[in-house]
Chain A
């Protein structure tokens, strides 16, 4: 088995092309906002640039040794999608699209498929199921024999990771966004599932095609600890969003409490 060609062609031009396909619409929409005088936050620009770069790097990484493949997987399925979710692409699209396009996008967002796809249990099955199928079954060997299968696997990983990041920590509107406790429980199940799968890879020396047992065990540990780091980042993103929302509410309350007292009737003194 030739381990040098893990990601459907290893390196080459197509990861960069794929990154451009994600980046160009975002860039066009953001510039459109700026031209009409609206500001799109710098943090979201940075998150988008970071996310696209991480995806391109992940796709260009060589697939061997196995630990490096796992590092690429973590970037592709967890780090990149989190950054893209923080870039709030749907919010940007809603603001940049002309009215008919916006209506069409809203219809899609409120449709049944979007509601089902962003329901936490479905997101968890897509995310953990994809990872279990790829690393614990023969799909790993199949994907390495057929570049098209690998491309589909990669696409699934990015999209499932993006759904998880959007549901847990994203800034985009959802048909039914879970509350703080729901988002935390979703993250807990995803993180625990990820840890268990990484330990199963270690315990059963899977995927069988990944290399020597020592290489596979090293990769499984990279999966375990790298995954934990990405999960901490997800938790921080979620809680930072909660903290910022609380701060905005506090400031609103403060303004409301000070404004009516001073404006109509000056406090008797």
Chain B
């Protein structure tokens, strides 16, 4: 894989991992907005949640090691790392917000409040990440020759 491709991949993995980590620690653990298990969701939801929980952790570890490898070979393309990171984070956010929360009904962002502003903030921020990531991905970037 090219240095550019590997930069994007490292970014995507770190972005997905950070989104999953924030979701897990901030909203589940610190704010207690989400619950561990609602008892409302389908069991398909449990599987989807399990894959994303496990995948998020693994993605962040793999992404950081890939990034360290790019750095030690001095072939990182920083703009593409950011592009991948924002895309990964945004896609995860929107997947979680639209598919897991709404379609599977796994859990909601918060309970006993008007959900609309929360859902909007959640999904719009994710969509913004996707757009900015896509712009960074297609824009010009300095190519680094592999030494």
Interface residues of A (CB under 8 A from B): 184, 187-188, 191-196, 199-200, 202-203, 221, 224, 228, 231-232, 235-236, 239-240, 242-243, 246-247, 250
Contacts and interface: CB of A to CB of B under 8 A. Distances in A.
Interface stretch (B67-75, B81-89, B109-117): B67-75
A239 B62 contact: yes
A7 to B, nearest CB: 27
Given A188-B58, A191-B58, A246-B69, 20 more contacts: A188-B54, A191-B57, A192-B55, A194-B50, A195-B50, A195-B54, A196-B47, A199-B37, A199-B46, A199-B49, A202-B36, A202-B37, A203-B37, A203-B46, A235-B57, A235-B61, A235-B62, A240-B65, A250-B72, A250-B73
Contacts of A221: 36
Given A192-B47, A199-B46, A240-B65, A235 B73 contact: no
Interface secondary structure of A, over-half rule: helix
User: Considering the complex of A and B, which 4 residue pairs feature the smallest CB-CB distances, nearest first?
Assistant: A191-B54, A195-B50, A239-B65, A196-B50
B39 A228 contact: no
A232 B36 CA distance: 20
A240 B62 CA distance: 10
A194 B54 CA distance: 9
A235 to B, nearest CB: 4
Interface of B: 36-37, 39, 46-47, 49-51, 53-55, 57-58, 61-62, 65, 68-69, 72-73
Contacts, number: 66
A222 B68 CA distance: 32
Nearest to A191: B54
A100 to B, nearest CB: 41
A221 B62 CA distance: 25
A122 B57 CA distance: 24
Given A188-B55, A235-B61, A243 B46 contact: no
Contacts of A203: 37, 39, 46
Nearest to B62: A239
B42 to A, nearest CB: 11
B50 A231 contact: no
Nearest to B47: A196
Contacts of B58: 184, 187-188, 191, 231-232, 235
A240 B72 CA distance: 14
Given A188-B54, A199-B49, A228-B54, A239 B61 contact: yes
Contacts of B73: 250
Most buried by A among B37, B49, B55, B58: B58
Contacts of A224: 36
Nearest to A229: B57
